[in-house]
Structure 1
Amino acid sequence: MKLSAELKALEGRIGYTFQRPELLVRAVTHSSMSSATRDDNQRLEFLGDRVLGLVMAEALLANDPKATEGQLAPRYNALVRKEACADVARQIDLGDVLKLGRSEMISGGRRKLALLGDAMEALIAAVYIDAGFDPARSLILRLWGDRIGAVEEDARDAKTALQEWAQARGLPPPKYVELKRSGPDHAPVFTMAAQLETGESESATAGSKRQAEQAAAKALLDRLESA
């Protein structure tokens, strides 16, 4: 099987050449493009998530031999969650080569966090099947790079951290309110507010409600902890 110029360029960006090119094609094929003769990347995504998890667990243990499980768990979650995978996917322009159905193309699928994160996991699995664990580990460590050493010691997601801050002070969980939605239907932009019962509030804007909520929670938590 001969790869397109775009997929050959992707091989160059990730520093890996496939022995079985069909695995790369499958890794970038979304379910909206699947058919009886064309496999999508969902099964690869399932496997890639597990390979990524093992590599990150190993890397974190090696990076900080004295860290407790309580310190390692939030760091691990920060490195393997969908947002992190999507960030790496954007770094290698993975969205540019995704094979999407018309509906996903129209709705801005190349920029969607979930699609990018899933495709990144599928790409990891494709390398794992193509050449084994060591090349897959090398790929992950190369692409995640400084993220591993720089991951915050307390890397809980901001919404969880804000909820724990509130509960420790006898307050009910924060509320998240949509303040504004703008942009076209295929690429909406959300402004969300994180609010505490005390009246404290911060807002943030992002391309998904989840990202905007996380950013608003972080902004509020940063202000509360610096007060």
Structure 2
Amino acid sequence: MADLDKLGETRPWLEAAGFLVQDEALWIEALTHGSTGADRDYQRLEFLGDRVLGLSIAEWLYRQSAGAEGQLAQRLNALVSRQTCARVAREIGLPAHLRLGKQARDDGAADSDNVLCDVMEALLGANFLEAGFEATRGVVHAKWRRAFEGQAGRAKHPKSALQEWAAGNRRKPPEYSVIDRSGPDHAARFTVRVSVANVGEVEATAGSKQEAETAAARLFMERYG
């Protein structure tokens, strides 16, 4: 974008995505990564949007599902996960509108689950400030409907499955440890090892510690379960 102080072609994209754009500076902030050197970036709005998303999904689950608290929590965690947020961000075309510094762009930040999730939440935070909770909840329902109606969080979480498998086979609980962390903050890679005494161990790598633990638990169950 030639002028970093104006939304330009991003404004019609935001409006087509269902956002209410009034204060352009707010939306520029929501789309701006710290690598640009700008005075304000998306982090504060991401903090707000994370809570708006969580409440929107939690209420949706409560009203649409008769599941027990544990089942609701499992689905909530899946629906607000970085992978799901990033998937929604890609579906609406967010990567093309990110405001990144050259180094961050060269490092692949425009396709980073961490960055895309954070900015998606920042957009929800901005919309909450502009249009209120009800309108922002409507955006969440529209953009998350496919994930909500799909299988996200319906199957038992791999870490829970491994925990139960270990207990059922009279084994000690699984132990997780981070054995490597690499890459810049916006594209970090974590390698986690999970082990069960007298059974075995496996390693997995992902973009966050939680994702790596999940992947390791899934791999362990595939190999030993």
Task: Spell out the pairing of 1:43-62 with structure 2 (5 A cutoff).
Answer: 43-62=44-63
Cα distance change of structure 1 residues 167 and 15 upon mapping to structure 2, 3 Å threshold: same
Matches within 5 A, 1:25-174: 25-35=28-38, 38-64=39-65, 66-150=66-150, 151-154=152-155, 156=157, 158-168=158-168, 169-174=170-175
With 201-210 and 15-24 compared, the bigger mean Cα shift is at 201-210
Aligned residue for 1:15, secondary structure, equals coil
Which of 4, 8, 17 is equivalent to 1:4?
Answer: 8
Work out whether residues 75 and 155 of structure 1, in 8 Å CA contact, stay in contact via their aligned partners in 2. no
Task: Give yes or no for the alignment of 1:23 onto 2:31.
Answer: no
Task: Please tell me whether the aligned partners of residues 13 and 92 of structure 1 are also in contact (alpha carbons under 8 angstroms).
Answer: no
Deviation at 1:122, TM superposition (A): 0.3
Structure 1's 204 and 93: CA in aligned 2 closer, same or farther, altered over 3 A? farther
Q: Do the aligned residues in 1 keep the contact of 2:167 with 2:173 (CA within 8 Å)?
A: yes
**Alpha-carbon spacing, 1:172–1:84, altered in 2? closer, same or farther (3 Å):** same
Q: How many residues align?
A: 216
TM-score, normalization by structure 2: 0.77
TM-score by length of 1: 0.77
Match of 2:28, as an amino acid? V
1:2, distance to aligned residue in structure 2 (A): 4.8
Please give the root-mean-square deviation of Cα atoms over the aligned residues, in Å.
3.3
Q: 1:196 deviation in Å? A: 3.6
Q: Say whether the 8 Å CA contact 2:179–2:193 is kept in structure 1.
A: yes
Deviation at 1:212, TM superposition (A): 4.9
Q: Give a deviation string over 1:95-146, Cα, whole Å, max 9, x none.
A: 2221122332232211222211111110101111111112101111111112
Mapped to 1, the partners of 2:175 and 2:156 lie a distance apart of 19
Distance in 1, Cα, partners of 2:173 & 2:41: 43
Unaligned runs of 5+ in 2: none
Structure 1 vs Structure 2: percent identity of aligned residues?
40
State how far apart, in whole Å, the 2-side matches of 1:68 and 1:187 are: 36
AA at the equivalent of 2:8: S
More deviation in 82-91 or 40-49?
A: 82-91
CA spacing shift, 1:71–1:136, aligned 2, 3 Å: same
Q: Is the 8 A contact 1:193 1:216 kept in 2?
A: yes
Task: Name the aligned partner's letter for residue 27 of structure 2.
Answer: L
Letter in 1 for 2:171: G
* Contact preservation (8 Å) 2:30, 2:126: yes
User: 2:42 touches 2:119 (CA, 8 Å); kept in 1?
Assistant: yes
Paired residue type of 1:3: L
- Does the CA contact (< 8 Å) of 2:85 and 2:120 recur in 1? yes
Q: Does the CA-based 8 Å contact 1:45-1:118 persist in structure 2?
A: yes
Structure 1 gaps of 5+ residues are none
